[in-house]
């Protein structure tokens, strides 16, 4: 189905996620790159050697969750916008999620926006905690949102209504 | 008659890299391009590129020409650039006829040539496909990303290859609504990371669908699409109508290389390389001595491969006319390795199959 719709199945998504324990320890990257393509900026970007593509740049990136610090550098460098960061260390009820968002208008900090799943369906409202857009991110802003824990595996995008 | 050591026709990624590589070896190079500025397709690619660092992965396409031109400026006493200049003739005598602007013709006699003219878009036939509002994806991208003009308000994208997916994303960035993306193939042709990022914006991707007809009086008002079976025959009763004012056709590219055919290079039809392409050896030299090819003109692929092919062809063209640097074999091997690496995955299997049929 993924090949027909672009929507990964729940099982595919789960396979890319670290354990709840790891997420509760602090920020960590989830790399949703499912198919072999000639690409490796995620590996090049990571200063902690947490992502490996290897000699053959067609390999699917492998992430070592223990080495990943959740710094989000790879997130703005990935041309597929395939990476997000989850952090469950801040609260028992919510998780903080960082996603790349290349649309205008950017949301404001504190604004409540629509939280969307991998089909683009509205599943919950989320609060924007932070908007990071330094020059080094090269026009791929990173948005931090606060999300109800029960949507951890579904949330993947936001919509800012004007 | 103008004399030149090497003429590079086309100043896209392949041509710029060919010129740089030849100049680095010490050859004098003349680049001619029919556009106002250099960069070819790159000037409208606002998204980040794939590939590896050597091919500027993760850099936005629009920023790559500047990087290449800066590099090229290191050899400025060796390189002459002519924009607004179209190569219109290239015959057995080896002389290239150039049309500068719209009124000035002149002739150039080079010792070697690298043809890097890129590709052009395929179109689709269906009733009323000539209504205003029906564009090729390249035109939409040029309007939007070069001239800052929105093509319309609601778009139906036809073709789910990388270009269709990327242009859909860029349309949404420009504030245009994308109603759906269709493709007659049963699977999405482009990279799935691109497909996923559009899907999660809520845009449906309809595989096994094609355009049945366009409807409108003076311009496009509606598009009727339908499902197709495994043999691509329309299935009656599956029609869906979209209210759209733009249809964007993105069903692939064809190599643009008539100049090589004109010059007498042996051409071969290779579907995996998207059309008629010149037979060449591993240095990208065609069947006519000292005539090289690089980039999409040699088979439709990617800017990453186009750049490396350019470096390789430029290096070998310079060597053929007497500029063979000490590190020739090292450089050649490095470029060949980069090409093999880019093409080693499943996404490039068709390219390898195509190349097998074309080697001299
Ligand atoms: C929407 C889209 C997205 C893409 N995304 C990517 C990507 O993410 N990564 C990637 O690697 N690639 C990507 N590509 C592909 C990439 O742009 C092309 O493969 C690449 O530009 C080919 O380079 P080229 O130099 O062979 O040809 P071109 O870039 O097409 O350049 C050819 C040049 O030749 C000139 N020319 C043609 N005929 C003549 C003539 N007779 N006389 C003088 N000048 C002439 C043209 O004006 C042009 O400047 C994308 C393409 C598109 C359309
Ligand atoms: S978030 Fe930082 S540490 Fe983790 S993989 Fe990405 S770049 Fe490496
Ligand atoms: S940079 Fe992104 S698209 Fe490229 S390999 Fe890494 S995760 Fe995949």
What is the layout of strands, in order, in the sheet containing B209-215? B209-215, B222-227, B240-243
Closest residue by Cα to atom 8, ligand 3, is A33
Q: What's the CA-to-centroid distance between B116 and ligand 1, angstroms? A: 9
Q: Which B residues 291-330 touch A at CB under 8 Å?
A: 304
Model-level pTM? Answer: 0.94
Mutate to test the pocket of ligand 1, among B7, B9, B10, B30 (most ligand atoms within 8 A of CB): B10
- So what's the pLDDT on residue B338? 94
What is the per-residue pLDDT across B211-258, written as a single tens digit (0 to 9) for each? 999 999 999 999 999 999 999 999 999 999 999 999 999 999 999 999
Give the distance from residue B312's alpha carbon to the nearest chain A alpha carbon, in angstroms: 20
* DSSP code for B300: S
Same domain, B241 and B144: yes
Same domain, B259 and B115: yes
> Are B283 and B226 within one domain?
no
Contact call for A156 and B200, based on CB within 8 A: yes
Beta-carbon contacts of B349 under 8 Å, excluding residues fewer than 6 positions away, are none
Residues B37 and B48 in one domain: yes
Cα first-last separation, chain B: 33
- On whether both B221 and B323 belong to a single domain, the answer is no
pLDDT (mean) for B315-322: 98
Q: What is the DSSP string of B184-225?
A: SSSS--S-HHHHHHHHTTT--EEESEEEEEEE-SSS--EEEE
- Residue whose pair of structure tokens reads 């309007």 in the numeric block: B143
- Substitution site in B121, B163, B257, B303 for ligand 1 pocket (most atoms within 8 Å of beta carbon): B303
Residue with tokens 């025959």: B233
- The verdict on B263 and B229 lying in the same domain is no
Domain harbouring B284, CATH code? 3.50.50.60
Task: Give the closest-approach CA distance of A20 to chain B in angstroms.
Answer: 24
Cα–Cα–Cα angle for B188, B189, B194, nearest 5°?
A: 75
Looking at this predicted complex, what is its ipTM?
0.96
Burial class (CB in 10 A: 0-12, 13-18, 19+), B57: buried
Average pLDDT score over residue span A115-143: 96
Suggest the residue from B48, B178, B306 to mutate for an interface test with chain A (most A CBs closer than 10 A).
B48
Of B187, B192, B200, the CB nearest to A119: B200
Domain boundary among B230, B249, B268: B249
B158-199 pLDDT, tens digit each = 999 999 999 999 999 999 999 999 999 999 999 999 999 999
| Same domain, yes or no: B91 and B131 | no
Helix (H) or strand (E) holding A21: helix A20-25
Contact A91, A85 (CB under 8 A): no
* Structural domain for B187, as ranges: 123-249
Closest-CA distance, A117 to chain B, in angstroms, reads 6
Number of domains forming the structure of chain B: 2
Q: Of the residues B214, B249, B284, which one is the last residue of a structural domain?
A: B249
Domain boundary at B249, B267, B285, which? B249
Neighbours of B218 (CB within 10 A): 8
Strands B253-255 and B104-115: unpaired
Helix or strand (DSSP H, E) at B337: helix B328-342
pLDDT over 90 (residue B55): no
**B168 lies in the same domain as B315:** no
Q: Is A148 within 8 Å of A124 (Cβ atoms)?
A: yes
């Amino acid at each position: 189905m993924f090949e027909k719709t672009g929507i990964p199945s729940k099982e595919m998504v789960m396979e890319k996620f670290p354990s709840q324990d790891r997420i509760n320890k602090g920020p960590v990257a989830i790399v949703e790159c499912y198919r072999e393509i000639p690409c490796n900026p995620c590996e090049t970007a990571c200063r902690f050697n947490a992502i490996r593509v290897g000699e053959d740049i067609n390999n699917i990136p492998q992430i070592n969750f223990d080495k990943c610090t959740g710094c989000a550098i790879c997130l703005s460098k990935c041309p597929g916008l395939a990476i997000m960061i989850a952090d469950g260390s801040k609260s028992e009820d919510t998780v903080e999620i960082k996603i790349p968002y290349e649309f205008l208008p950017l949301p404001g900090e504190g604004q409540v926006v629509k939280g969307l799943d991998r089909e683009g369906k509205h599943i919950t409202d989320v609060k924007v905690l932070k908007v990071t857009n330094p020059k080094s991110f090269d026009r791929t802003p990173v948005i931090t949102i606060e999300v109800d824990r029960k949507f951890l595996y579904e949330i993947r995008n936001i919509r800012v209504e004007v | 008659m103008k004399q030149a050591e090497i003429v590079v026709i086309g100043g896209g990624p392949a041509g710029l890299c060919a010129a740089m590589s030849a100049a680095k070896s010490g050859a004098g190079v003349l680049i001619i391009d029919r556009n106002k500025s250099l960069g070819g397709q790159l000037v409208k690619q606002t998204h980040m590129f794939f590939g590896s660092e050597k091919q500027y992965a993760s850099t936005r396409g629009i920023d790559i020409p500047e990087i290449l031109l800066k590099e090229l400026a290191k050899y400025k006493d060796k390189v002459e650039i002519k924009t607004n200049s179209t190569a219109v003739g290239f015959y057995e005598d080896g002389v290239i006829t150039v049309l500068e602007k719209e009124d000035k013709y002149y002739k150039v006699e080079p010792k070697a040539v690298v043809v890097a003219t890129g590709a052009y878009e395929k179109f689709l036939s269906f009733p009323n496909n000539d209504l205003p509002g029906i564009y090729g994806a390249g035109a939409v991208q040029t309007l939007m990303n070069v001239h800052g003009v929105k093509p319309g308000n609601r778009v139906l994208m036809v073709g789910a290859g990388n270009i269709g997916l990327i242009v859909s994303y860029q349309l949404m960035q420009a504030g245009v609504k994308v109603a759906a993306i269709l493709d007659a193939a049963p699977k999405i042709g482009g990279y799935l990371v691109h497909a996923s990022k559009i899907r999660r914006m809520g845009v449906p991707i309809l595989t096994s669908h094609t355009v049945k007809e366009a409807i409108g009086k003076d311009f496009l008002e509606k598009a009727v699409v339908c499902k197709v079976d495994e043999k691509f025959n329309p299935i009656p009763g599956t029609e869906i109508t979209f209210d759209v004012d733009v249809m964007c056709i993105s069903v692939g590219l064809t190599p643009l290389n008539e100049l090589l055919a004109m010059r007498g290079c042996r051409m071969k039809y290779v579907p995996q390389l998207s059309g008629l392409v010149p037979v060449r050896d591993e240095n990208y030299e065609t069947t006519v001595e000292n005539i090289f090819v690089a980039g999409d003109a040699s088979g439709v692929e990617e800017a990453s491969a186009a750049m490396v092919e350019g470096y390789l062809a430029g290096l070998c063209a310079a060597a053929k006319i007497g500029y063979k640097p000490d590190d020739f074999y090292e450089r050649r091997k490095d470029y060949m390795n980069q090409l093999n690496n880019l093409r080693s995955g499943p996404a490039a299997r068709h390219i390898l199959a195509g190349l097998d049929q074309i080697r001299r």
